[in-house]
Structures are given as structure tokens and as C-alpha cells.
Structure 1
Amino acid sequence: QVDNTTIWCKDWSAVSINLNGNAGKTIRLFFKTADCTFRRHFGYAYIDVNSECSSEFVGATYCPDDTAVNVTAPYGYQSYRWFNSSFTQVLGTQQTIRLSPPPVSGTTIAVEIVPYDGYGCLDTLYAQLIDTLNVIANAGKDTVSCNQKPVQIGAISKPGLVYSWSPATGLSNPAIANPLANPGSTTTYTLTTRNNGGGCLTTDDVVVRSSFIDNSLQLTGKAVYCQGSGDSSILSVLPNDRIQWFIDNAPITGANQQQYKVTKTGSYHAMLFNKDGCSINTVKQDIFIDKAKPGITYPVQYAVIELPIQLQARQFGFSAIWSPAVNLNTPASYTPIFTGTTDQLYSIEIKTVTGCVTVDKQLVKTIPHVDIYVPTAFTPNNDGLNDFLRPALLGIKELRYFRIFNRWGQLVFETRNALPGWNGNLNGILQATQVVVWMAEGTGVDNKVYTRKGISTLIR
């Protein structure tokens, strides 16, 4: 089962195809399955073609010093019967027959093959047994295993041969023709190949050189820091034949040295190469270089004398220190409480986890009482002076409304923000000189509601 799904597997099924008379032609094989419902099941078929194609049975040619001969008839038939050349003796009823000791070279044997129903007719095949087999061990070319990555040695297996590798250390299977080799150090492997009858023993050697690159990555400095703080990040690797540094998986032009000084935020790693042609990546190292936010000046806060008011620093970083600490209950806070009788200018030092420091300013003005003031006149002529009619809030923490009416009682402007105010336009039309009535209501720092009204003159 895979992820609670049942997977059905069928063992290998072998078949034989007679290609006599088709030399030089292209053969196309078609496979059809009738056991799956469309779109409800799936299946995979794996095909392995025997490269040792010949007109002889496997094992019909044997070694002079074999102690036995194993002869295999073609695959894919329902039953087999082996006979001597005169058909006077049944030698066996399996697909493979073992003759021990081997018969005289030149002996002919026959096999009667019966196909499955509907797949052909009964047939008889003949094999002549001759002792001319020559076995050559092939351990393959010398190779390199990089960083203990398995490499394949040997060659494609041939039917009827027996393989044995020595030493077996680091091999996926020492009893096959082409195992995967993963030695911990440079190793010479010896392949012994013989016929399955025991004869024609031959050997061959292959050297698997183990080449290892130390891909350790060292960070000197900090992985996270603030620009301009004096901190830095330097990445280092051990010496190699060639080095290439990467940022966010893209190669850095000219970055081929053993050490690399990081100059911007990113994910860094190096690819290392040695003289054996091996290469490997280091682990990735994330570097974050922060930049301090510029300081700002907060809007003036009005506080009624001896009445507590909460101040508010910008909400970022991990700490805020107000200086000087006078008239504050907790200067090491984003929201200290001010209680005082005189004006005070504060510097707020905000620090981030990366070490960046931002300094903001906050002026607190003390007033004897909460009030709302509105100028008696304004001149909206775009000269930058008195162009807007707006309320001046003293100790008001929330403006509920600010409304302006013309002489006919028509509402010409309304807002809940003190800025920017009314510019003297109504529906995009400049209003003439006139007297207007204003009304304002707000909540004071003492949590009381204050309502004010009055008149102002629009002057053109």
C-alpha cells in the first residue's frame, strides 16, 4: 500500500519472439491491457529486452571445463518436454534442463513446446550443444565516485553467466554484472565471471576513486544586522579547484574567491569543484541586512495641566525609549502616560531586532483647559496663508464633526478630521465673500464632550 492505496504488482513475464528473416528491419511492439476501467485505474508496464539475441538456446554453448550444462528453451509457452536426438528418451519437462556432466560436444537435443490455448500450435525446436563458449569478464572503465554518490560499474549482464565482485564493501549487490559502487575510499574491485556450469572462469579489475569535497560553509559575523551599524557577514569555504558563489540561486559575477563579503539581503550558497570533476553545493545561508526607518516628528499633543494623557510611539521594532523621562510613568514603553504642568519635547528611540535605531520627536503642549478654536476669517486665494478654514484642537483627542453652513443654512462642508479644512469651494465652484456659521464637537483628553460654534468670514 502507498498512502492507503492498494497497489497490485505482477512479477516479470518473459516471452520469446522469432525474428528469423527480419535482419535489418525495425520491429515495433504493441502492448494492450484489458484489465483497467477507463479513468478509474492506472497501470505501468516495464520492458527489458535481452541483448543476447541468437538462434541458439541459452546454455547451448558451454565451456570445455563446465561440470554441468543448463539449457533454457524460449519463454512464453504452457509446457515443455525435452528429448534426446532420437526422441527415445524424455530428458525433462521444465523450461530449463540441467545436464550433468555435459554431453559430448556436438550432441543435439530437442524440446517440444506447447503454447497456451489460442496462441499458436505445438512445435519442436532443436539445440546443438557445443563446448566453444568463451567468457570475458568486463568490470568496466575506471571511474570516480563524487561525495559518496553511487556510480555503476561492470556491464550489461549476459544470460547463463555467474558474477561475483570482491570486495563486496560499498556495492549494492556483489552478485550481479553491474552493481552500484559507493566506496568510502578509493577501491579496486575484482569481477569474477564464469559460466553457470562452473567453467570459463575469468577476472577483470576496475578502480573506483573516491573523491570527497568538504562543503562546509562558515559564517563570520551576523546573519541579521542593520546597515551602517558596523556589523557584517562574511561567508567562507575551504580551498577548492574552483568556487562559484550564488545569491537566490543566481551566480554572482566575479564571486570565485574562498571568502565572500555579503552586501545585500538574500539566500547565499557556493558551488565547489575539484580537479576530479566533482562538484557539490554548500548549504544555504540566509542573510538579512536591515535599514533604519527615517525619524519623523509626530503631531503636537495637547495635555490639560495635571490631567493624564497617553502618548503613542510608532509601532515597529521591539523597544521604545522616551527621553527625557520627565512627566512619564513608563519611559521604556510605546504608550507612556504624560502628566505635567509644562511643555516637553521628547525623543523616542525605537530599536529593531536587527539593531536598527530610529529617533522620532514628540512635542507635548500643556493647556489650562480643553477647547476648540476656529479663526474668525480666512482667505482661500492659494497664497499658502490662511487658505483653509479649520479647527485648532486643544486637548481634543477625537473630532466628532466640523460643519460649515452658508447664510441660507445650507451645509457646505463637513469633516471628522482637522486637516486640511474647507477651501471655500462648493461643488467645485468658488464661493463669494460671505459670513459662514461653523459648528464643532469633539471628545477631550479628559473624556468629556466639547461643543463649540461661531462665525467666520470668507474673504476674496
Structure 2
Amino acid sequence: MKKLLLILFISILHLPLFAAHITGGEVIYDYLGPGAGGNSSRYSVTLRLFRDNLCVGCAVMPTSVSMGIFDNDNNTQFGNYINVNLTSTFPLSVIAAPPCLTNTPNFDYSGGIYTFEVQLPINTNGYTIAYQTCCRVGSITNIGNATNVGSTYIGEIPGTNTLPVGNDNSARFRTGISIICQNKNFILDFSATDPDPNDVLVYSLVGAYGGGQAVDASFATPSAPPYGLVPYSTGYNGLQPLGPNATINVNTGIISGIAPAAGKYIVSVLVKSFRNGVFIADHRKDFIVTVAPCDFASAELKPVYNSCDGFTFTVQNLNSSALNLTYDWDFGDPASGANNTSNLEFPDPHTYTSAGDFVLTLIVNKNTPCADTATAIVRVYPGFFPAFGPLPPQCKNTPVQFTDATTATFGAANFWRWDFGVTNLTNDTSRLQNPTYTYTTPGTYNAQFIVETDKGCRDTLYPVVTIVDKPEFFISRDTLICTVDTLQLTTNVNSGNITWSPNIAINNVNSFNPLVSPDVTTTYTANYTDQFGCSTSASVKINVVTDVSLLAINDTTICRTDTTRLNLNTDALYFTWTPSNVIQNPTVQNPIIFPTAPSTTFHVVASISNKCFVEKDIVVKTVPYPVANITGDSPICFGKSSQLNASGGSIYLWSPPAFLNNVNIANPIAQTPTRSVLYSVTVRDTLGCPKPVTATFNLDVIRVIANAGPQDTSVVLDEPLQLQATGGTIYTWSPSTYLNNVNISNPISLPQNNITYTVNVSNNIGCSATDTINVRVFFLPPDLYVPKAFTPSKDGLNDIFRPIALGIRNLEYFRIYNRWGELVYVTSKIGEGWDGRYKGVPQETGTFVWQASAVDFKGRKIVRKGNVILIR
């Protein structure tokens, strides 16, 4: 068991060595001459592997690798797998680095050489030589979260289909590395050389191959093509391995543009070799490029700027480094005088004095070791107005004419590119100025039009093309005429060809708007062909009658100020109602009217044409609405009743029914209501307008509630007592004994014995009530009388510990302390006390200390202290 655990532990330690290993590679071949026995060729094959020596926990360069050769004629393996030893290693040098770098990255890469010779029979499609490994270095940005992504490096030897003679040497890429700073302009050298002097190389970015089934760095059985690509993450692919702002020069292999964020990126480049214009072979290399979080000062401009909408132009340095300390701009426009130069980082917009080409120059950090200069051409040619001709809806399978309508003040359009917007097609484009295109399927197509002048002004427009099954064609709607009428039929077109049928009672069968006068109901059909040869048809039915039919509502009566609708049953098409001033729309068949006169005669002329019509009168009478009124006793005192009286109609309904003796009479009684009520009565009139009207009446019930103050109160002898009654506006106290005034709400009493006072409280409408107060007189001096114990058991007996204040005007404080001196309760309100809790916790049985200070009714200060026992 221990041995098994040791093996597992060693295996786990070994796994990271394969998890981050290879940085890049390529397979090179060299032609050595004909093979023995003829009909074969000898080649020297070299595998270059690249390793990041600073990679932590990574495997060393493999001491040997296994490679496979595959016949492209039948995709079978040629011979056995070949084990190739490491023959030498070499360092990779930095071949491109910006000057004056900060946070310079530390690079240490090495390359390994694996070489063998092989003799291959000459075939048609050549051979693929492959090496596969399980692992690249980890944390590669453009393949996202994929881990342990392997790689396949191949060399492709051409066959007789591209090179009958067979003597070809592959291209080979430079092995240096470039320092690339994040979000900065950069140059990455992926150039290659070819030992064959007449070969021409063409470069492109391609997807990098994954490792297939490889499980370790020395995978012994590489598979035959085809090979799958690494799983690129969103925003990246083989054509854009460094994002959308980096491109490759097809002639030099130099990748340049704006770098992405710091990280590692797989970049794979394919170089095609051509000899005398004929394709020979493909060769590829991929390498994991490091983009570092470094920075450098530089002046960076686009090669060419265009100003096509005015003479004013704004520029800025494309490198926003904090290392750019000074700026010297020259706009190349001496005629602008002092405005021709600027020392600002973001110079003000420059207005050029004329049209033309100007040389823009920027120098950053002038006269310092980190100075840099950039120039660009500013092409100032305003007055560029891109446009295209109208594109009316058109039928399928007919040529659509696209027209360039661009105008330019300077120069003329010399470049056009139309994309006619057919999805899933790549040949729906044209470089002609005014092309035609035939759409086969109806729909809406979003086309694209790019136009450029010989002065460099360029813009993109987006025409919308509508293709239909048939031309847009419509004619008059079905209608009605009398036998004496003539009708003009209308269409929406005025070009193309049209033919009407039948040729009956029509003045011109080829007119777009003919006149017809049938004696019987007839359906006319128009067959139309537009100028593109696209056809359709439409029909219109002309119903023919001898006269106008008309049935109207009877004379009627409505409530005055109401509206109503006058309804007609007719085949007429046009209507004229009078008097128009009380009609909402006097030209419709069934208008809404709002008469106010006692009687109005409405007259209508209903016609099919000015020759064919009929007339009718309708009398509408109006009667007024009933007028609802309510009277009654309000306000009333609580406990009284009120007589309510309504008028204005013959039928009554009261609401709510609360306290009413009858809700269906004009004069119900609200019997001793206990609260105020808002009554409404609905009044109807059986003699006039039958519609109800409503009136409301607020019955206000006043209830006086007398309050003489606390039911019981205590004073000491010779202590004046201020009584305080509330509840009304008029007060009468009895008896008058000891009182200074019996007719006010707050008299003063100087009682000499116990006494009970009664107060009568009333208001200005006679509502009244009484209340009493018992006054107990103590023949004791004013003082605080405090009990010795209390039992807070919530039984209602002696639950609260508080002082009894006799003759006390003001309690300054009443404090209680526990045996540790903690203040457990304090109050300054007479009548309040302690419930035996401290911070919400009931206190145990024990002795507590209290202190009190008060002022009596004569202004004398009284200070007391003592003990109290809390009993549980």
C-alpha cells in the first residue's frame, strides 16, 4: 500500500512538468537530392521547438521526440514513427524593442533542434511530417479557460501536383522575439527566408493546431492530418489572434497594430511559397507571444488622415504614454502663421487655409534621448457628399438599378463597392459605379455601398432594397353608383401598361384612370405590367342601383343637454345634415346630435351622386332634467332626530339607509343618529325627463363629552387646586363651595374638606353633558410619602414603586440604585414609578436605595432618601 501511495505521489509531482512546456515550433525540410534507386527524394527534416526558460515548474527541453510522416495521397503513415534526439539548443534574441522602455519585461527563450534524414517516394500530393505534444505554457489569454492545450507542428513537402521536379526547400521563420507593450503600437517580426532564390513568399494569419490525442511532451504516436484548432476565446480567432487591431503584411510577414492587454497569446503564421507564379507549398510556425505591461514614449500617427467635411481637423498622438513629456506639432500649413504649430498634448483643432495635401509632424520629448518623430499626410478636401439613387420597391427576378449619386467639390469618385445584401452569398457584390442586380426572393435586403474619391474621401452607406412578388398596385375600392352616373376609376400608377376588362361602358381600356358608366352591376379588372415587366392585377366592383334607399329613425324625445345618435338605414354614400351647429359631424351617416331647443327638425340629404339622392326630416324634442333639492335640521345634538325634506321629482331614493325611517319617500326622518351622515337622494320625474339627478345633504351630529379632569385628586390643607374641564364652550360648576368662579372651564378651589364637584358642559346649540371630580383633602404637610416595600408580581397590587406626592408642585427627580450603586431607575414625572426591571431584566428580591427631590405648592424644596425592599 505504501509503495502504491509513493507511486501516486511521484506521479502528481510529475504532472506540472507537462502542464506548461512548449512555447512554439516549426518543421523545416531541405532537399538533399534524388534517392537511391530512382523515383524518390532525400530530405533533411528539422524540428524547432521553443521553450520559455523562465517558466516555473515546466519541463526541460525534451531529450528526444517522436515524429510521424504521412502520405497525402491516401492519408496513411509512411514507415514507422521516428524517434529523433535533441542535437543542439540555442538562445532566442530580442530583435525588436521600443526605445526608452519602462517596466522592461525579462525574456529568456531557447530553441531546440531535432534533425533526421529520410528518403521519400515521389508521389502526387506530397507528405505531411508531424510532431505532437500535450502541453504549451499555461494561462494563454486568447484560448480563455482552456488548460493543457497541446500543439501540432507540421512540415508539408510538395508532390508532383505542384512541383514536378521535387527539388524544394521549405521556408524558415526568423527565431528572434519582439518586446510588445500592452495597448501600444507594436511590430512583431514573423518574416521568413527561402533557400530557393526564385520563390516568392506570401503571409497570412491562421489558426494554431491543437495537440490532438497527445498526453505528454514525448508523445510517441502523432496522428495523421487533418488537425483541429486550439479553442480560441471570445474576441479572438486564428485570423485575429491579437484582437481586431493587429494585422499582418502579406508581403513581409510583419504583424503590427495596437497590442491587446498584457498576457500570452498563441500566434500562428502560414507562409505560402510561389515559384514563377505557381503555388509550391505551405509552411507554418506558431509561437506564444508575450504582451508585457510595459510602456515607452513615442510619436504615433496614422499614415494618412482625410478631412472631407471641412477645413478644420483634430489630431492627437496615438501613444498616450505618461513618458511623453513634451509635444511639438507642425501642421504643415505655413500660410496659417502662428497657428501652424502647437506645444499642447491635445492641440486645438487646426483650420487649414486651403484644400490640398499637408505633411503633419509630431515630435515628442524633443532634444532628449527618448525623442521620437512621426509624420502623416493630411488630405484636406471638403465637400464630399456620398449618395445613391432612389430604390423603389421592385419585383423579384427583375434587374434592380443601383446608381451612384455622389458629388465632390474636389476630385471625383473612383472607387465603388456594392454589396447587395443577400445573406449566405459572397458573389453578390460589384465594383461598378452603377451596377444592376437581380433578386430571386422577395424580402427586405440591407445593402452596403462604399464610395471613395481620388482625394481619399471614403464613406459607407446602407441602402435598403425592397423586393416583392408583384408590383405595388391598387385601384378604386368597390363602390355604388346610380344608373344615371358616370364614375372615374383610379390607380396608384402612371407608367407601364394597363388593360381593363370587360370593355363595357368604359371610355378607354388602356387608361390608368378611365371613366365608366355601367347600367348594371359590373366588376372591372385591371391587368398591369410595370416598366420592368412585372405583372399583377386588381378588380373593383361597381354596384348599380336605380335610386337611393333610405329608412330613418322615428321622431324622438330626449333629455335636454343630452346627446343622441340619428340612425339611417341606407345605401347612400354621402350625407349632408342640417342644422349643422348642433351636429357633431354633419357629413356622416349616423351623426351624434346635441340639441337644446324644445324642438329641432333635422334634415338630411343622402346621395350616391349629385344626380342621385333622397331627403328626410327627423324631429327631436327635448325636456329638462328634474331639479333635486334637500332641506333638513343640521346640525343636531346627539340623541335627537332630524326631519329631511327633498323636492323636484316624483320618485325618491335615499342613501345610505342608516337611521332613516323610510328611504323611498320625499321626507324621511333620521331617527337619533349616533354619528354624522352624508345623505344623497336620487330624484326621478315621471312627467318629464326620466333620467335621475342626485343631491346631497350633510347631517352633522354634535356630541358633547364633558371631562372634569382626573376622577380623583388629592391636595393638602390650604393647597390651591386648579380645576380644568374640557368638551364644550359653556361651563357651570356646582357646588360653588371653595370656588373662585363657577362659570369658567378652569376655576381655582381652596378646599377645606373632601368635596365632589360636578361640571355641566354645553355648546352654542344647546348640546350638553356632565362629569365629576372627587377632591380629597389631607390634613398633612406637603411631602413625598414613599412605601417601604413593593411586590412587582403583576397581580395589580403594589406592583409599582413610586412616591405619593401630597402638596407637591414639581418632582425634580426620583432615583433608585441597586446595592452596587448602579442607577436602575429615574423619573421626574409625578405618578410614575419603577416596575422592578433593570435593562428589561426583572431584579431579584433585595434592598434598593432611593433618592427624591421636589418642590411643594409654596415653593419649598423637599429632599428625601431611603430604602425599599423588592419582594418576589
TM bracket, shorter-chain basis: 0.5 to 0.7
Q: Verify: 1:105 aligned to 2:519, yes or no.
A: yes
Mapped partners of 2:741, 2:708: distance in 1:
23
2:652 corresponds in structure 1 to 243
Structure 1 stretch displaced more, 421-430 or 341-350: 421-430
Task: Give the SS at the match of 1:283.
Answer: strand
Mapped partners of 2:813, 2:641: distance in 1:
51
Residue from 690, 694, 704 that aligns with 1:278: 690
Residue by residue, what CA displacement relative to the aligned partner does 1:356-382 show, whole Å, maximum 9, x if unpaired?
434344566788997225378899899
Q: 1:73-222 counterparts in 2 under 5 A?
A: 77=492, 85=503, 89=508, 103=517, 105=519, 112=526, 121-123=535-537, 125=539, 130=544, 132-141=545-554, 143-146=556-559, 148-155=561-568, 161-168=573-580, 170-184=582-596, 185-187=598-600, 189-203=602-616, 205-222=617-634
Residue from 256, 259, 274 that aligns with 2:664: 256
Q: Verify: 1:394 aligned to 2:806, yes or no.
A: yes
1:267 corresponds in structure 2 to 678
Task: Give the SS at the match of 1:255.
Answer: coil
Mapped partners of 1:260, 1:417: distance in 2:
54
2:482 corresponds in structure 1 to 62
8 Å contact 1:145–1:182 — kept in the other structure? no
Q: What is the one-letter code of the residue matched to 1:57?
A: D
2:864 corresponds in structure 1 to 452
TM-score normalized with structure 2 length: 0.34
Structure 1 stretch displaced more, 407-416 or 144-153: 407-416
8 Å contact 1:395–1:444 — kept in the other structure? yes
8 Å contact 2:731–2:759 — kept in the other structure? yes
In the alignment of these two chains, the number of paired residues is 378
Residue by residue, what CA displacement relative to the aligned partner does 1:26-51 show, whole Å, maximum 9, x if unpaired?
xxxxxxxxxxxxxxxxxxxxxxxxxx
1:321 corresponds in structure 2 to 731
Mapped partners of 1:253, 1:73: distance in 2:
75
1:338 corresponds in structure 2 to 748
Residue by residue, what CA displacement relative to the aligned partner does 1:279-306 show, whole Å, maximum 9, x if unpaired?
3241333333243335455242648858
8 Å contact 1:147–1:210 — kept in the other structure? yes
Mapped partners of 1:294, 1:321: distance in 2:
9
Give the 3 Å change call, closer, same or farther, for CA 187–371 of structure 1 in structure 2.
same
8 Å contact 2:709–2:725 — kept in the other structure? no
Mapped partners of 1:422, 1:220: distance in 2:
56
Residue from 278, 285, 292 that aligns with 2:704: 292
Structure 1 stretch displaced more, 400-409 or 149-158: 400-409
8 Å contact 2:551–2:570 — kept in the other structure? no
Residue by residue, what CA displacement relative to the aligned partner does 1:150-205 show, whole Å, maximum 9, x if unpaired?
121213775x53323345564323332212233333545443323222324242x5
Mapped partners of 2:566, 2:526: distance in 1:
40
Mapped partners of 2:750, 2:644: distance in 1:
51
Which of structures 1 and 2 has the bigger CA Rg? 2
Mapped partners of 1:115, 1:443: distance in 2:
115
Mapped partners of 1:409, 1:173: distance in 2:
94
Once the two structures are TM-superposed, the CA of residue 449 in structure 1 deviates from its matched residue by: 3.9
Task: Give the SS at the match of 1:282.
Answer: strand
Mapped partners of 1:116, 1:356: distance in 2:
96
Give the 3 Å change call, closer, same or farther, for CA 261–93 of structure 1 in structure 2.
farther
Mapped partners of 1:79, 1:266: distance in 2:
76
Higher relative contact order (CA 8 A, sep 6+): 1
Q: What is the one-letter code of the residue matched to 1:269?
A: S
Residue by residue, what CA displacement relative to the aligned partner does 1:115-140 show, whole Å, maximum 9, x if unpaired?
9999x94436466685x333222322
8 Å contact 2:761–2:768 — kept in the other structure? yes
Task: Give the SS at the match of 2:663.
Answer: coil
Give the 3 Å change call, closer, same or farther, for CA 409–180 of structure 1 in structure 2.
closer
Mapped partners of 2:790, 2:522: distance in 1:
125
2:349 corresponds in structure 1 to none
Residue by residue, what CA displacement relative to the aligned partner does 1:42-100 show, whole Å, maximum 9, x if unpaired?
xxxxxxxxxxxxx98313x3154xxx5445558xx456989794887489766xx788x
Mapped partners of 1:179, 1:325: distance in 2:
86
Q: What is the one-letter code of the residue matched to 1:245?
A: W
Mapped partners of 2:520, 2:836: distance in 1:
121
Q: What is the one-letter code of the residue matched to 2:482?
A: Y
Once the two structures are TM-superposed, the CA of residue 268 in structure 1 deviates from its matched residue by: 2.0
Identity in percent: 20
- Over aligned residues, Cα RMSD in angstroms? 5.8
1:357 corresponds in structure 2 to 768
Mapped partners of 1:444, 1:272: distance in 2:
69
Give the 3 Å change call, closer, same or farther, for CA 399–104 of structure 1 in structure 2.
closer
1:374 corresponds in structure 2 to 785
User: Which has the larger strand fraction?
Assistant: 2
Give the 3 Å change call, closer, same or farther, for CA 121–136 of structure 1 in structure 2.
same
Q: What is the one-letter code of the residue matched to 2:656?
A: I
Contiguous gaps of at least 5 residues in structure 1: 1-54
Structure 1 stretch displaced more, 405-414 or 385-394: 405-414
Once the two structures are TM-superposed, the CA of residue 351 in structure 1 deviates from its matched residue by: 4.8
8 Å contact 2:758–2:770 — kept in the other structure? yes
2:111 corresponds in structure 1 to none
8 Å contact 2:479–2:541 — kept in the other structure? no
Mapped partners of 1:220, 1:253: distance in 2:
15
Q: What is the one-letter code of the residue matched to 2:519?
A: S
8 Å contact 1:350–1:359 — kept in the other structure? yes
Mapped partners of 1:376, 1:105: distance in 2:
122
Residue by residue, what CA displacement relative to the aligned partner does 1:251-298 show, whole Å, maximum 9, x if unpaired?
989621122333453332123344489332413333332433354552
Contiguous gaps of at least 5 residues in structure 2: 1-475
8 Å contact 2:810–2:856 — kept in the other structure? yes
Mapped partners of 1:369, 1:116: distance in 2:
123
Give the 3 Å change call, closer, same or farther, for CA 140–439 of structure 1 in structure 2.
same
